[in-house]
């Protein structure tokens, strides 16, 4: 394929354009997404990423979907922060099982300086020393904290937008949409790659999904990682009564994300345990090229590792093993 046939990256996607994508006939949409996927990514490689909850429960945020929020009564009990050696042992097990990215989560509104942050830096250094990508999700952070994480070798920082600005207030009231965008800017300015996506099935409309994707696709550069989550309705949370989504809606989101952000790793994330093998394969055809790998995703269930290995083998896919380098600070576009 000649270089001139590869489409240029765009950073001016409108919500109306993305909404049009989401409403296209599914076969046409998936074909377009797979064509673009193959132009920018290895066609049969899927990254395996393992996610560990380092600090569980007791979060001061009121995210309507989250069983770790202190605002709701769920079966998730607050747990102390895992010691560094426990986290690094988990990373070693994840690598031995085939994961190339190790993600660590802290149930915080914002990162707290002191011993816990120093331990976070040690964990990041330890994961990178294993030859794995290291990702952290721990809420908001300061410029200084972002710079220290970059110096420790952090590959990516996860901070999801969750939904559109218009629907956001019905899901979260303890942090503004502007706070989230400011966190992403701090991460980018520190030279750390951005991991940012959202959740569908929370009661939002199709226009809300389109708006969220258009905001992500307007970031320059695009997020290197875009998690697409389906709500896991947990008893005790504000969204416990939400019905599960049609899996084809998740396929459409993966396809639209792939078309709008061709180089991103589109991560099929929460809610995957509710999908059949066939629905997951459709998501891969639509451009998803990463899954969270391991029996638990923070505090909710995830398909068993053996099941995932068998699925990849059955479709002729293989794990993506190369590490993503952090974005050099001087390459950040203003």
Task: List residues with catalytic annotation.
Answer: 59, 63, 66, 103, 135, 195, 267
User: Terminal CA-to-CA distance of the chain, rounded, Å?
Assistant: 32
Would you state the torsion angle of the CA atoms of residues 87, 93, 99, 101, taken in this order, to the nearest 10 degrees? 20
Radius of gyration (C-alpha) of the chain in whole angstroms? 19
Would you state the torsion angle of the CA atoms of residues 69, 178, 117, 297, taken in this order, to the nearest 10 degrees? 50
Rounded to whole angstroms, the maximal C-alpha distance in the chain is 57
Whether 247 and 26 have beta carbons less than 8 Å apart is answered as no
- Residue 319 three-state SS: strand
Q: What is the DSSP string of 43-67?
A: TTEEEEEEEEEEE-S-BS---TT-T
Whether 64 and 202 have beta carbons less than 8 Å apart is answered as yes
Q: What is the DSSP string of 54-123?
A: EE-S-BS---TT-TTBTTS--SPPP-PPPPHHHHHHHHHHHHHTT-SEEEEEE--SB---SHHHHHHHHH
Q: Across the strands, what pairs with 292?
A: 49
């Amino acid at each position: 394929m000649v270089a001139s046939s590869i489409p240029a990256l765009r950073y001016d996607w409108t919500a109306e354009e993305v909404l049009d994508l989401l409403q296209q006939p599914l076969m046409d949409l998936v074909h377009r997404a797979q064509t673009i996927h193959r132009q920018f990514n290895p066609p049969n490689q899927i990254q395996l990423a393992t996610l560990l909850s380092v600090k569980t429960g007791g979060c001061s945020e009121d995210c309507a979907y989250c069983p770790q929020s202190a605002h709701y009564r769920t079966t998730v009990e607050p747990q102390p922060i895992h010691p560094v050696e426990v986290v690094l042992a988990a990373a070693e097990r994840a690598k031995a099982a085939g994961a190339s990215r190790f993600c660590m989560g802290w149930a915080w509104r914002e990162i707290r300086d002191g011993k816990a942050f120093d331990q976070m830096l040690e964990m990041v250094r330890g994961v990178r020393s294993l030859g794995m990508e290291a990702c952290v999700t721990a809420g908001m952070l300061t410029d200084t904290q972002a710079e220290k994480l970059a110096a420790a070798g952090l590959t990516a920082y996860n901070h999801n937008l969750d939904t559109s600005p218009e629907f956001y207030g019905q899901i979260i009231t303890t942090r503004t949409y502007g706070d989230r965008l400011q966190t992403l800017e701090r991460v980018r300015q520190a030279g750390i790659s951005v991991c940012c996506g959202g959740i569908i099935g929370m009661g939002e409309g199709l226009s809300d999904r389109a708006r969220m994707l258009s905001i992500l696709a307007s970031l320059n550069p695009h997020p290197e990682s875009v998690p697409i989550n389906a709500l896991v309705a947990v008893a005790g949370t504000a969204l416990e009564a939400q019905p599960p989504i049609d899996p084809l809606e998740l396929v459409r989101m993966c396809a639209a994300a792939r078309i709008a952000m061709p180089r991103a790793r589109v991560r099929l994330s929460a809610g995957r345990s509710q999908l059949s093998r066939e629905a997951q394969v459709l998501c891969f055809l639509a451009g998803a090229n990463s899954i969270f790998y391991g029996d638990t995703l923070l505090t909710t269930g995830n398909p068993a590792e053996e099941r995932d290995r068998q699925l990849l083998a059955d479709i002729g896919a293989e794990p993506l093993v190369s590490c993503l380098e952090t974005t050099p600070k001087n390459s950040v576009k203003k």
